[in-house]
Amino acid sequence: MRSAVALLLALAALCAHAHKPSDSYLTIRADGAALSGQWDIALRDLEHAIGLDSNGDGAITWGELRARQSDLAAYALARLELRADGRPCRLAATGHLVDEHSDGAYAVLRFSADCEAQSYREIEIAYALFFDLDPTHRGLLRVEHPSGAVAGVLGPERPRLALPLAGVSRLSQFFDYAREGVWHIWIGFDHVLFLISLLLPAALSATGRGWDAAERFAPVFWDVFKVVTAFTVAHSITLSLAALAVIQLPSRLIESAIALSVMLAALNNLQPLVLGRRWIVAFVFGLVHGFGFASVLTDLGLPQGALLVALVGFNLGVEAGQLAIVSLFLPLAFRMRRTWIYRRMIFSGGSAVIALIASVWLIERLFDLRLFPG
């Protein structure tokens, strides 16, 4: 009983995460002995860290940001360290701008790096922005140099990254993107809740009286296999098309459609309309979720010399993350399928909570509102 209540409370807590996880965009440009950079940092994250809204009206103006430019630069640059071939670089702010990303306004900090070297073969980046405030924060790194560009992701579990300017191997890029695919599915709460909504009825069978416990594990396994396979195939299609810019849709439309898919999948558990062919639902809405995955992959930066490697690596990472969720959930659900806790609290109660959360997300994303702090 305590475990079931904890699960429902955890689902309810996800209301605070209806928006995109915290990211910053760090670009380093290396041209001979000169190093410079641009760092895009979300205003909402800076407000939480150092406070920018001086009059407390909920809107950060250019005047308020300009008044805190020196504090912003000091705060950010104190959490970034660059080394060129092992020699530390002195960082200095050179300009401030504001830019719009798909999830809101970002402060743009431009800086120079003096490494006291005529040339170098490797750049090392140590990153610590917001790690003490948000353990899910990521720094999306892109290093540009005359022979091309390389990308990487910095986070609390990987705060330091060394990049050879001659380029990184395709195998290394594959594992980097695969790692981010796993991480994204685990922190992509809307994707996870959609998957759980499809998994919740797997251990049950629909009858005229409602839901009864499934008798054998094999049919349950194959039902889940069809659902997960359909979801995988569908989002792989749109992920590839969107990441390669073959099809592009507005971010707000995609995020709203993803929230709608979660809500409908959960409501289908409470008032079944689609039963025997849930894999069709998984495929149709999987096409929508693929656009959401593609936005993350685009933010990471696709290496022009290894597009296929990045796409395959990220996609396989997403699948590995999904399979981890399924392998944990399905055996427990099948074991508990006859209990009142599973059928009433986890299945019915959990579906209701998921539908409620998704409806909040839908309203927030459609109308660009913030109903809950976070």
Q: Is residue 373 part of a domain?
A: no
115 backbone dihedrals φ, ψ, rounded to 5°? -105, 0
Pair (122, 87) in one structural domain: yes
pLDDT at 208: 60
Pair (295, 243) in one structural domain: yes
Sequence-distant (≥ 6) Cβ neighbours of residue 13 within 8 angstroms:
none
Pair (35, 109) in one structural domain: yes
The rounded Cα 255 to chain-centroid distance in angstroms is 12
Gap between the Cα atoms of 37 and 24, Å rounded: 13
Gap between the Cα atoms of 55 and 62, Å rounded: 13
Pair (296, 322) in one structural domain: yes
Pair (357, 271) in one structural domain: yes
Rounded average pLDDT per 10-residue block, the chain, 374 residues: 50 49 88 86 93 89 94 97 91 94 86 83 93 89 78 87 76 83 84 92 76 88 92 93 86 90 93 79 93 80 73 91 93 93 92 94 84 57
pLDDT at 14: 47
Q: Is residue 372 part of a domain?
A: no
Domain termination residue (choose one: 168, 197, 218)? 168
Domain termination residue (choose one: 133, 168, 203)? 168
Pair (53, 13) in one structural domain: no
The candidate with the shortest Cα–Cα distance to 302, out of 240, 230, 256, is 240
Gap between the Cα atoms of 307 and 230, Å rounded: 24
Containing domain of residue 122, as a range?
Answer: 23-168
* Residues pairing with 114 in the sheet: 90
Pair (83, 9) in one structural domain: no
pLDDT at 150: 74
Q: Is residue 228 part of a domain?
A: yes
Instruction: For the chain, count helices (H), then strands (E).
Output: 12, 12
For the chain, the farthest-separated pair of C-alpha atoms sits apart, in whole angstroms, at: 78
Q: Is residue 289 part of a domain?
A: yes
Pair (246, 340) in one structural domain: yes
